Each structure stands twice: as C-alpha cells, then as structure tokens.
C-alpha cells in the first residue's frame, strides 16, 4: 500500500472511531455526497468536448457531468483527501448498477421519500456488485472502501466522511443531467475509458503545471472572507487558462443582476465591489434556475448565477 493511501485510510478509520484527526481540509473535511449546485444551469456555457477542465468538487459530480458532455481531459483538484476514492466509487457504481440501485447505494437523506432516510446506503450486497469494476478502475479506491466497509457499519461511514448537505431527488435530477436514464446508460462506457487526474490540495497553495480551457471553482467564493482572497484566487486561476479559456470564478446562490447586497452576505456577493477589483478580467454574470427554485418566496431568490471571465 502506498504512503498516501495508508495515511488516508488510517485517518478515515480514526474518524469512524470518533477520534480526532489532524487534516488540512478544515471545514471541508467531509465530502459532499452529491453536488449542491445546479450544474445543468451552467454546463452548456463551457466548451467541454475535446477541451480540458480543472475543477474542484468532492462529490465527483462536476467531473461526471463533464464526462457526460464528452470532456476527456479533466483534473479534479480538491482539498478533501478522500475525493479521488469517492469519485471512483461513484463511477464504478454507475458502470455496475442500474440507476435505481445506484440511488439505493449512494443516496441517503430524503430517500426514497422526503423525511425518510435510506438505511440501505452503502449496503454490502451492492458494494459486492460494484467491487470488481472498482478494482479495475482504481485499485487504491477499492482498497480504501473495501477496508472501511469491512470494519464499520455503512451509516457510520456516511456520517463521518460525508456532510449532511444532500438535496432531494427532484433537485438532484435537475442539477445532474447524468441522472436521466438515457444519459446514465450512455455514461457507463465513457467512465471506463476517461481517466481524470487527481490533485489533493488547497487551490491557494498548490502548484499547478498544466493550463486549461475551462476552470470551475464551484462555491469556494462564498467561503472567502475578504476581497484580497477573491482577487488572489482569480489572479492565480486566470493565469492557468489557455487563450480564450473560461474561468467560473464562483457559483452564487439566489443571485441575479438585481440582487441587493446585504451586509451579512459573504464579500463575493457584493458584485459592485467584485466587478471593481476584478475589472481587468471583465467578469460577467450568467443566470439560470436556482437550487431553491421550489422553496423560495421571492422570484429573484429562485435564480442562481455564476461569475465568469474569459482569458483574452
């Protein structure tokens, strides 16, 4: 077993044993089981087929949706060290299971019904069906999950390694076009031959050598505490774009061009100031149906946006 896998597995075991673990991923120490962004709302603004993509996203959904759109040169950079193992577990599950069994294996909250959680999540019978494909895709990921599933109850693993931020089926189906049956079945083959690259690290500290046609920074933006950090992140990521490349600077919840900034919002939502500090990059807002489309009281809160810039 390589050193990185041994360390990650050991830390995951400690966490499942309720022991404190020193890790560098702070508030992102738990993975997102599924995306909490409406990826379908923005994905078609990016040229993905035969182009490259650098993205964060511990749920793996950014990568899986990009593969669904025939993007084949993908790097997943995330601060959470278990991201790679979860991506391969999800990919092997799509390849090995029909869509209902996939949901039964990986969905937990509000599944199969709202207000009922799925106590068959990560069940061992379904893991046994996925295990062979997982071994073929990435042996380290097989070792990681096989060891955890043999030591702990599935719910314990779900609780300790994943956050509780999981949307309902109606939303997840809208966010992820791979969750429609035709796309899901077509994806099985693509996932066998498209091999993403993985980097575990902080986007602010990690040296990245490749240049990309597309970079997605998901919703890191709302977690940044000041404008200097927003500028630092954008400067660094813009410098990694190929000519004409597109940078998704931040996903913005419940935001359109008319949304008024309130002092309790994170700085990235102060669009006037953000446009000013990033003026050299000419950022623009692209707006689409938001994740809270079905539970918002005000029309503007039903929309989300991405802040985007293009390398000239």
User: Which chain residues interact with ligand SAM by CB under 6 A?
Assistant: 28, 32, 35-37, 56-59, 77-80, 202-204, 218-220, 223, 251
Q: How far apart are CA 15 and CA 298, in angstroms?
A: 41
**Judged by CB, which is closer to ligand SAM: 56, or 94?**
56
Collect all residues with Cβ–Cβ distance below 8 Å to 51 and sequence separation of at least 6.
Answer: 71, 73, 213, 214
**Judged by CB, which is closer to ligand SAM: 126, or 307?**
307
- Give me the least distance between CB of 288 and ligand SAM, in Å please: 15
User: What is the four-CA torsion angle of 31, 34, 37, 40, rounded to 10 degrees?
Assistant: 140
**Judged by CB, which is closer to ligand SAM: 98, or 202?**
202
- Give me the least distance between CB of 285 and ligand SAM, in Å please: 17
Cβ proximity of 153 and 160 under 8 Å: no
- Give me the least distance between CB of 202 and ligand SAM, in Å please: 4
Residues forming beta bridges with residue 31, ordered by sequence position: 162
**Judged by CB, which is closer to ligand SAM: 78, or 110?**
78
- Give me the least distance between CB of 175 and ligand SAM, in Å please: 8
Residues forming beta bridges with residue 241, ordered by sequence position: 212
**Judged by CB, which is closer to ligand SAM: 199, or 241?**
199
Collect all residues with Cβ–Cβ distance below 8 Å to 114 and sequence separation of at least 6.
Answer: 168
- Give me the least distance between CB of 35 and ligand SAM, in Å please: 3
């Amino acid at each position: 077993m390589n050193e990185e896998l041994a360390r990650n597995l050991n830390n995951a075991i400690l966490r499942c044993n309720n022991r404190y673990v020193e890790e560098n991923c702070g508030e992102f120490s738990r993975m997102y089981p599924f995306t909490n962004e409406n990826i379908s709302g923005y994905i078609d603004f990016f040229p993905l087929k035969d182009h490259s993509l650098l993205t964060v996203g511990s749920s793996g959904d950014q990568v899986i949706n990009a593969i669904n759109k025939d993007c084949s040169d993908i790097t997943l950079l995330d601060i959470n060290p278990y991201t790679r193992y979860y991506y391969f577990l999800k990919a092997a599950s799509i390849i090995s299971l029909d869509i209902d069994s996939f949901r039964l294996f990986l969905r937990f909250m509000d599944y199969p019904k709202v207000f009922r959680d799925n106590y068959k999540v990560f069940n061992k019978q379904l893991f046994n069906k996925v295990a062979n494909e997982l071994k073929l895709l990435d042996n380290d990921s097989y070792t990681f999950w096989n060891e955890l599933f043999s030591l702990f109850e599935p719910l314990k693993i779900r609780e300790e390694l994943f956050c509780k931020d999981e949307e309902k089926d109606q939303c997840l189906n809208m966010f992820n076009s791979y969750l429609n049956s035709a796309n899901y079945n077509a994806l099985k083959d693509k996932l066998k031959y498209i091999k993403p690259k993985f980097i575990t690290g902080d986007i602010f500290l990690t040296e990245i050598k490749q240049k990309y046609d597309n970079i997605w920074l998901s919703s890191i933006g709302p977690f940044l505490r000041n404008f200097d950090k927003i500028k630092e992140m954008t400067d660094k990521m813009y410098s990694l774009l190929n000519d004409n490349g597109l940078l998704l600077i931040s996903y913005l919840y419940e935001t359109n061009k008319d949304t008024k900034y309130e002092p309790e919002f994170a700085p990235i939502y102060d669009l006037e100031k953000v446009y000013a500090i990033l003026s050299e990059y000419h950022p623009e807002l692209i707006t689409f149906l938001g994740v809270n489309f079905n539970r918002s009281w005000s029309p503007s809160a039903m929309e989300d946006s991405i802040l985007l810039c293009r390398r000239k």
